[in-house]
Structure 1
């Protein structure tokens, strides 16, 4: 397993002081985020409501920055990177795909353009970012592909049919989720996956103490997330080839337990 994307404990005082000394210009921004965090945690004690409020605020400033892209060029590059990776692993135009945390369609518009009409389903907890997604859809002239863009309150997928999706995808979702939200997703995703389907998710990886910074960024050990998947009867494996991508997160692929040979390529 590559150590490329392993992240140190960013919650420690030593790390914070060292980072501040190296990046003094970022101190005001961090203090502003910390103040917002305290206020929103008092107002929204459950995490989904809390992070929905974070996204509302960030989307109002910049939808592309709200999904983690500092520039438009970076927004385009990160979306294309996700698209190229899944296509290289066997995503076909005829597949139905669920994009969890689809945001403003940074990757979604590439998938919508590629997949057959109606085969893309994007969900997000933030209605505000889904409005931005509609704007992306119109800007890319992809209305005729009839994608499904749906706001959700949780990750139980109760409105979706059994064994419907060959590919489920969650990029930079679990990196902003406490463990009980991840557990909820993994408890229900198997129901909507086809027998040969797979679920790819990225996460911020640490090999030390698991921790979070404010309530926005969460860092997990690989074995913790694999154990959660296995608890729900799923098979999970670390995707070493993803570590070659120009992105700081790591990736795990989940499949049905009985589909041990599935690696995203049609047999």
Structure 2
């Protein structure tokens, strides 16, 4: 049984017909070209080099992955997602983009078993993942990430920011007009709450904040303690 069952809607498997009609692009939130480019630009500004190994946690159908593959050296892109149909859609996107020679490493897993790749990573990234996870699942993800992060490595992840901890009221995010919640999808959390979750997982948080996301997702950075 999936540990992610009923946490959010992203475990819904798409049909081959839906994939052929590119429904997966909207399923993961749309903004296909805009957000894909934005992710790569942010990581390059943050120090990503072609020779680095990058893990995309919650890679979906490779909205960002296609851009990472173009930039990274062969074999240096790794993606993990719980939804097998999205991974299959991503493989099709890779073929259609003429990027199969970049040899993406893709795994379907619902428990953030990053160690299954048998690698340690310079960079990890998640866009629109923590925004769909409750606190316990964020801790699980951060813990697995820590176990496979190089000493100099960094894990960047987006989140919806609440003004205070235990912010129980619905919160409209501007821009984007997404309404977020404390205990249902899509989720928000405060910086203090996110720092506490990082501490539970053995990581340290630094807040990047605004990075140009069109729906007001903020960026956080997680590193190993010094």
Residue pair 2:54, 2:122 contacting (<8 A) in 1 also: yes
- Provide the C-alpha distance between the structure 2 equivalents of 1:158 and 1:92, rounded to a whole number of angstroms: 22
1:199 aligned counterpart, secondary structure: strand
Q: Which runs of 4+ in 1 moved over 4 A?
A: none
1:154 aligned counterpart, secondary structure: coil
Which one of 137, 141, 144 corresponds to residue 188 of structure 1?
A: 144
1:250 lines up with 2:218 in the alignment: yes
Name the counterpart of 1:238.
207
2:163 aligned counterpart, secondary structure: coil
- Alignment CA distance shift 1:153-1:139 (3 Å): same
1:78, distance to aligned residue in structure 2 (A): 0.7
1:85 lines up with 2:42 in the alignment: yes
Which whole-Å deviations, capped at 9, do the CAs of 1:126-151 have from their partners, x for residues lacking one?
Answer: 00111110111011000000001110
1:56 aligned counterpart, secondary structure: coil
1:216 lines up with 2:188 in the alignment: no
Name the counterpart of 2:56.
99
1:173, distance to aligned residue in structure 2 (A): 0.5
TM-score normalised according to structure 2 size: 0.84
Which whole-Å deviations, capped at 9, do the CAs of 1:8-60 have from their partners, x for residues lacking one?
Answer: xxxxxxxxxxxxxxxxxxxxxxxxxxxxxxxxxxxx8x661234665325994
1:165 lines up with 2:134 in the alignment: no
**Structure 1: stretches of 5+ with no match in the other structure:** 1-43, 259-267
1:228, distance to aligned residue in structure 2 (A): 1.1
Alignment of structure 1 residues 135-174 onto 2, 5 Å: 135-161=92-118, 164-174=120-130
Residue pair 1:235, 1:254 contacting (<8 A) in 2 also: yes
1:111 aligned counterpart, secondary structure: helix
- Alignment CA distance shift 1:57-1:143 (3 Å): closer
Residue pair 1:205, 1:222 contacting (<8 A) in 2 also: yes
1:82, distance to aligned residue in structure 2 (A): 0.6
Which whole-Å deviations, capped at 9, do the CAs of 1:91-121 have from their partners, x for residues lacking one?
Answer: 0000000001111111100001111100000
Residue pair 1:235, 1:256 contacting (<8 A) in 2 also: yes
Name the counterpart of 1:179.
135
Name the counterpart of 2:172.
none
- Provide the C-alpha distance between the structure 2 equivalents of 1:240 and 1:215, rounded to a whole number of angstroms: 22
Which one of 104, 107, 113 corresponds to residue 70 of structure 2?
A: 113
- Provide the C-alpha distance between the structure 2 equivalents of 1:177 and 1:235, rounded to a whole number of angstroms: 19
- Alignment CA distance shift 1:240-1:213 (3 Å): closer
Residue pair 1:238, 1:251 contacting (<8 A) in 2 also: yes
Residue pair 1:207, 1:221 contacting (<8 A) in 2 also: yes
- Alignment CA distance shift 1:241-1:218 (3 Å): closer
Name the counterpart of 1:199.
155
1:210, distance to aligned residue in structure 2 (A): 4.5
- Provide the C-alpha distance between the structure 1 equivalents of 2:5 and 2:213, rounded to a whole number of angstroms: 32
- Provide the C-alpha distance between the structure 1 equivalents of 2:190 and 2:198, rounded to a whole number of angstroms: 13
Greater C-alpha Rg: 1
Aligned residues: 208
Which whole-Å deviations, capped at 9, do the CAs of 1:216-255 have from their partners, x for residues lacking one?
Answer: 311111210111112233111110352x443421111001
| Superposition CA RMSD, Å | 2.3
1:191, distance to aligned residue in structure 2 (A): 1.5
